[in-house]
Amino acid sequence: MNKKIGLKEAMSIGIGGMVGGGIFAVLGLAVSLAQGGTPIAFLFAGLLALITSYSYVKLSMKYPDRGGTVKFMNQGFGKSIFSGGINNLLWISYIIMLSLYASAFGSYAPNLFSIFDKSIDAHIYTSFIIILATAINYYSIKVVGKIESYAVIIKLVILLSFILIGVYGLIGNPNLSQLSITKWETPIKLLTGGMVIFVAYEGFELIANAAPDIKNPKKNIPRAYYYSVIFVILLYIVIAAVTVGSLPFEQIATAEDYVLAEAAKPMLGKIGFSIITVAALISTFSAINASLYGGSRVSYEIAEDDELPHQLTYKLWNQPIGLLITAVLTLVIANLLQLESISTAGSVGFLLIFAMVNYVGFKLRKEINGNFIIPLFGFIACLLALVVLISQQIKTNRTGVIIAVSIIVMCFALEWIYKKVVPKKGRQ
């Protein structure tokens, strides 16, 4: 019998999933796109996550299942080529998130310990952390859980300390004027900035996988989703404001991949830089650890539902074979793609997935006792955000858009081939 978890643990799953490596990886990117309006960009992305969390609440209460999003897709669309394609996209989006976290680790680590030069070191550290986390996942899932529970506390303490010291440090800082409305980008660019870094919010969907184990679900499932998303929105907005108000834009651009550590320098000097770097390494490492496990579970659930080859339910050593496939693909993507391309591909994937979750919430509103307007609005908003993101990014980051669209096409093509070409008898 599984141990039931309370509201605090459920919230820590959501907060830990969101404040993984996302904020460390994409903050500099957000500033480069939204300039002084970066806090607003984070607000836009957060509101979209909050609207989507309504559908997750209703679906998690009606269909509590460790498959989480996979279960919701199958419930809304049946075990079809479409649901299979979206579920495949969820697995690949996990891999993209892993690549983002590993890239962030590779960007921060050389600041503490240089081996050759920064570009080579980034690849060494990126590869090392993926291999280490894979080894830990194979060694013991209990260790993964312990690392995650400690890491959530450590990173939140450090980030909240950064905020407290940072807000105090803003008094009299000449860069504070960068937050004025005259330094904001156009509304469409603010929205694009928010959507590129939307990946920083996707982790709340992990609560769905824990739904069967949550005590007093009627009360605690809604609270876990809403409290964790609102907390993270506020956290990100203040972190963005402190960063933009602490450093000139040119300095933020130079240190784009490790900007949060750079933002600690005006307040605490080299010690502050090192403390935030350590926080980034702990956060990204714990996020890689947890997401590797999550990714392998997604591939297992999809295969169990006969939407991917049944061989993915097989075990290699003591874990589903999907763990090794997830790790290898993460190594490839993290070492081949630039951070912005990874972030764009991840955001495109999750915006499409969340649009479909909202649609399922709308479609099954009677069964789940849901509202008519909120899921419908969430569905339209996610699709519009997706269109804005692709149309804006195609001008400046064509590679990221091509990769994102190619991944979506591949996910559906693979599902079509599997369902249409492989005979049913040969699937087991």
Can you tell me the mean pLDDT for 29-58?
92
* Residue with more model confidence, 171 or 181: 181
Quick check: 424 pLDDT over 70? Answer: no
For residue 271, give every residue at least 6 positions away whose Cβ sits within 8 Å of its Cβ, in sequence order, or none: none
Length of the chain (residues): 428
pTM confidence score: 0.89
Q: In angstroms, rounded to a whole number, what is the distance separating the alpha carbons of residues 209 and 240? A: 30
Task: Using the structure block, give the residue that is written with the tokens 């609207």.
Answer: 51
State residue 110's pLDDT score. 93
Rg (C-alpha) for the chain, rounded Å, is: 21
- At 197, is the secondary structure helix, strand, or coil? coil
pLDDT of res. 230: 97
Whether residue 105 is predicted with pLDDT greater than 70 in this model: the reply is yes
CA distances from 195 to 31, 44, 188 (A): 13, 8, 11
| Torsion angle of C-alpha atoms 302, 303, 304, 310, degrees rounded to 10 | 170
pLDDT band of residue 1 (cuts 50, 70, 90) is very low
DSSP 276-310: HHHHHHHHHHHHHHHHHHHHHHHHHHHHHTTSS-G
Q: Which domains does the chain have, with CATH numbers?
A: 7-419 (1.20.1740.10)
Checking if the pLDDT of 81 tops 60, the result is yes
The pLDDT tens digits of the residues spanning 240-272 come to: 999 888 888 888 888 887 888 888 888 888 888
Contact criterion met (CB below 8 Å) for 45 and 201: yes
Average pLDDT value for the chain: 88
Quick one: average pLDDT of 28-49?
91
